[in-house]
Structure 1
Amino acid sequence: MDAPRWTALLSGWQSGTGPLYTRLSGHLRGAVALGQLAPGEALPAERALGTLLGVSRSTVVAAYDELVAGGWIIRRRGSGTRVAAGVPRQARALELRSPVRVGAAGGDLDLTVAVPLLSDAQRAELSGAVAGAFAESLYHPLGLPELRAELAALYTREGLPTTPEQIVVTSGAQQAISLIAGALLRPGDAALLETPTYFGAIDVFRAAGATLRGVPVTAQGVLPDDFAAGARAHSPRLAFLTPTFQNPTGAVLPARARQRLAGTVAEVGLPTIEDDTLIDLGFGEDAPPPRLACFAPDAPIFNVGSLSKLYWAGLRVGWLRLPGGEGARGLGRVVMQAKTLADFGGGLPTQHLALHLLRHLPRLRAERRAAVTPARDLLAGLLRAELPDWQFTLPQGGQFLWVELPTRSASSFIHGAARRGVRLFPGASMAVGDLPDAYLRLPFTLDPAQLPEAVGRLRAAWHEHQQRGERLA
């Protein structure tokens, strides 16, 4: 059984009222109706699913019985339990790796998504920063000209000469990644990604029909030799890398390794997305090494950025920097056309807000560092005190702890934590290929006042998980 996949598919199944078996059958019925489970697709064995969800086998049997009675699934000796062939056929839907709020109880503590918390002072600043947003009613498909110029100047100051014509403003970094993947990938193409990596990129590349190939992330990030070997072996059409404060591990690729990676990208002409969304979230005073693209300015490297992690996710303003080399300009034109077709351009008020914020970028970075560093240290200290057998390395930037648990059933633990009111994300869902089901990505962006309660609930859930494992053994 693919435990991370079924954990994602059954997220929130316990919400609602009634016996557990009716909640489970209802959730599975909904997955079939939405096209997430296709006709003829196999369901897990009762005992395996019960173990994953932390319920008795009889609960799963009762849920399956209800689905059989309704004609949703069939049981056959020797072939197990499968979705019935005659269920209403829907367009096939992905089981998204990206966590969403589905059926979360009001008292739940959410550790699946990392977003900054706005202060009252920040709300006041945003309210007063849109004075020029209503002066015109034009479409700007590639972004507000002043914002494109500001972003180009930012890249240039940071060692990557850029013109405003190379900037495309998007609805968050996620749209930027989606535009590039949609423009460059076709079904069956290979895509080369770090593993583990950002779940949103995994979803986008899977939706494009790509075959995903992984390059392992070490404590020093992706090893250049591994990346070069993957590029030679799989002939990918697109690659995705996060050299700075990698999501989820927090690794920072050294300058020498960046130079070698950039050389490979340039040599093979491999279009590559360099995800810069966490680049402003360093905890020290020293700047990280230059961007990957700085080492090969003419290579087909697309830089993607956003204000969602630095300031406010609700702004939904991101951007991408198109490659500047002659050989890559054709790729840029395809992406610009895709952006125009998508929405004729983002909202002007939010772009004016982004322009205001970018003009105060050093202050924003300092404020974010001052807010997040104590939260990181608090969460790390609580985990070391309450759950000392959980292992992690304190990151020098980003917004996550990448935690290894002494178990090979972290997905099962996640369901136990949900019963305690803590929403978690299985680290194995961030893998491209095999990754032991032993990891959690824990953000330290939750309100610091809630972190002690969150860790207390995790400790109680972990104790239950260990006891249940001992009983099953």
Structure 2
Amino acid sequence: MPTPPSPTDAPHWAALLRGWRDHPGPLHTRLHTHLQHAIERGELTPGQRLPAARTLAALLGVSRATTVTALDDLTASGHLTRHVGRGTHVAPTAPRAQPLLTLRTPVGAAHPSEIDLTIAVPVLTDQQRARLRDAAAHAHYDSPYHPHGLPDLRDLIAQQYTHAGLPTTPDQILITSGAQQAIALTAHTLLRRGDTALLETPTYFGAIDVIRAAGAHLTGTPVTAQHLDPHHFAHQTRTHHPRLAFLTPTHHNPTGTTLPHPARHHLAAHLHDTGLPTLEDDTLLDLPFTDTPPPPRLSTLAPHAPILNVGSLSKLYWAGLRIGWLRLPPTLAPTLKQAKTLTDFGSSQPAQHLALHLLADLPTLISERRAAITPARDHLAHLLRTHLPDWTFTTPPGGQFLWIQLPTPTASAYTHHAHRHGLRLYPGASMGVTPLPDQYLRIPFTLHPDHIPEAVNRLARAWAEFTSRGSGRLA
């Protein structure tokens, strides 16, 4: 297992303590229950140090007396040990479970009264629902197993890659149950415990979780307000010798940046020269807000490099349609195909038939999603600039998110405070592979348009209350 996070790693503790108020009873009992469950599940392991009571109180927006009482009760029950000068630790004799990762990925359904800003889920229109119903009429055929995917679907996706300038055969396409399975298959197939993986920082939290779960050591290459620096990426590969890289060069999640042509050519040449297996995340590639086509994929610029392209319909059409795919380089195809076969003998065939029907008219899907998401992006950006003018962000040219910098060093604490206002938020620092300043939020603009004003109203009310208490303002 990775080294336990330090007691000062606010994003980690924000993730581990997510939902602590949902337990019954007084606040100190709720916190006691949540921490006890974390110990008994194995998220907190024997000997691991907890934050100080004052630090926990600041993170959770409660009094120090509340956290002291919770920690004292856990000490009395044998779950913790507390010593002056040495801090608070999980007791060696506490109930022990198999170590369990604290996931960065938000899990669990939001309460109907909450507005969930932790994930981006495209809103289906009535027209799109009707298209799904039409497609479903052709989705129930008896057929043998297709472990690598429905042949017609693989053929169509291969044609689309080829049309985009990346010659591809159907044999190079592997259908998966969403992009997340594609990332997981790659990580668990190509990595061994103790290997190093190189990711952008910040990056997609699902990739962080999956690669950590594979037992890899993660190192990062920064994505700034402009883009990834290919020279720094090359330096990291020479220094750390990674066995896998994960990159989102187009409409990056979460910053929204797109790697420009010169930097992209430099990066592609480096991948070709080093032979570093690289996952290129294309899941947001079809979400531009202008008619200007994005730069070519890295795999297009380096066709002989071991680059695996990840695609999905979840962001473009509907998250409930769990169909994704990998475009495989020939050298890695046999290994990944075998891994997929051993996993499930193939993804859902009705879902693949739906995907086949939808992808047959890919330009329409792109046009409809752009028509829905562009005004939502602009409306959200306008309301944030009006009601929260001290929050700073750049309106992205594509993707699904605003990457927002808050004038506070304790954005993780604000996310817990906002939960009391019916908002589920995700601290941006949790998307860091290496430590990021705790000043960021990732907010999607995929909400139903009718919900955007209320979301901003709640954000503003929570922020006003948070700052009125002197919580975390920068000097």
TM-score by length of 1: 0.97
- Does residue 113 (structure 1) correspond to residue 114 (structure 2)? The answer is no
Match of 1:469 in 2: 470
Contiguous gaps of at least 5 residues in structure 2: 1-7
Matched, 1:367 2:330: no
Instruction: Report matched runs for 1:284-363 at 5 Å.
Output: 284-324=290-330, 329=331, 331-363=332-364
- Whichever residue aligns with residue 381 of structure 1, its letter is H
What amino acid sits opposite 2:188 in the alignment?
A: G
**Other-structure match for 2:168:** 162
Tell me by how many angstroms 1:186 deviates: 0.8
Kindly indicate whether the alpha-carbon contact (under 8 Å) linking 1:220 and 1:254 is maintained by their aligned counterparts in 2.
no
Which residue does 2:232 correspond to in 1?
226
Q: What secondary structure, in the 3-state scheme, does the structure 2 residue paired with 1:82 have? A: strand
> 1:319, 1:197 → 2: CA distance?
20
Please state if 1:415 is matched with 2:416: yes
SS of the equivalent of 2:223 reads strand
Instruction: Judge conservation of contact 1:33–1:88 (CA < 8 Å) in 2.
Output: yes
Q: Cα offset for 1:209?
A: 1.2
Alignment of 1:37-76 (within 5 A): 37-76=44-83
- Tell me if structure 2 keeps the 8 A contact 1:190–1:238: yes
For 2:225, the aligned partner's letter is A
Aligned positions of 1:127-276 closer than 5 A: 127-276=133-282
Cα 1:470/1:266, change in 2 over 3 Å: closer
CA distance in 1, matches of 2:143, 2:99: 39
Q: Distance in 1 between matches of 2:367 and 2:275?
A: 37
Match of 2:388 in 1: 387
Q: Distance in 2 between matches of 1:273 and 1:290?
A: 15
Q: What is the TM-score when the length of structure 2 is the normalising length?
A: 0.96
Counterpart of 2:453 in structure 1: which amino acid? P
Tell me how far 1:172 sits from its aligned partner.
Answer: 0.3
Contact kept in structure 1, 2:79 and 2:95, CA below 8 Å: no
Contact 1:115 1:313 in 2 (8 A): yes
The CA deviation at 1:39 is 1.2
Q: How much has 1:425 moved relative to structure 2?
A: 0.3
Give, as a single letter, the amino acid of the residue that structure 2 aligns with 1:15. D
**CA RMSD of superposed structures (Å):** 1.3
* Cα distance in 1, alignment partners of residues 53 and 224 from structure 2: 37
Report how far residue 69 of structure 1 moved: 2.5
Q: Aligned letter for 1:374?
A: P
Structure 2: distance between partners of 1:397 and 1:422: 25
How big is the shift at 1:47? 0.6
Please state if 1:20 is matched with 2:27: yes
Larger deviation, residues 391-400 vs 448-457: 448-457
Residues 175 and 324 of structure 2 are in contact (CA less than 8 Å); yes or no, is this contact kept in structure 1? Answer: yes
Q: Kindly indicate whether the alpha-carbon contact (under 8 Å) linking 2:410 and 2:472 is maintained by their aligned counterparts in 1.
A: no
Question: For 1:200, what is the secondary structure of its paired residue?
Answer: helix
Q: CA deviation at 1:64?
A: 1.3
Secondary structure of the corresponding residue to residue 50 of structure 2 = coil
Structure 1 residues 174 and 470: CA distance shift in structure 2, 3 A: closer
Residues 401, 442 of structure 1: 8 Å contact kept: yes
Q: Cα gap change, 1:417/1:201 in structure 2, threshold over 3 Å: closer, same or farther?
A: same
Q: Any unmatched runs of 5+ in structure 1?
A: none
On the 8 A contact 1:15/1:105 being kept in 2, the answer is no
Matches of 1:357 and 1:266 in 2, distance apart? Answer: 34
Residues in 2 aligned to 1:373 and 1:135: alpha-carbon distance in whole angstroms: 37
Report the alpha carbon displacement of residue 132 of structure 1 after superposing the two structures with TM.
3.2
Secondary structure (helix, strand or coil) at the match of 1:201 reads helix
Give distance in 1, aligned partners of 2:236 and 2:428: 23
Name 1:6's counterpart in structure 2: 13
Letter of the 1:356 partner, please give it: H
Aligned mate of 2:98, from 79, 91, 101: 91
Distance 1:380 1:428, change over 3 A: same
Q: What is the count of residue pairs matched by the alignment?
A: 467
Look up the match of 1:281. 287
Alpha-carbon distance between aligned partners in 2 of 1:140 and 1:131, rounded to the nearest angstrom: 20
- SS of residue paired to 2:218: strand
Match of 2:84 among 77, 97, 102: 77
| Cα drift, residue 470 of structure 1 | 6.2
Deviation at 1:471, TM superposition (A): 9.8
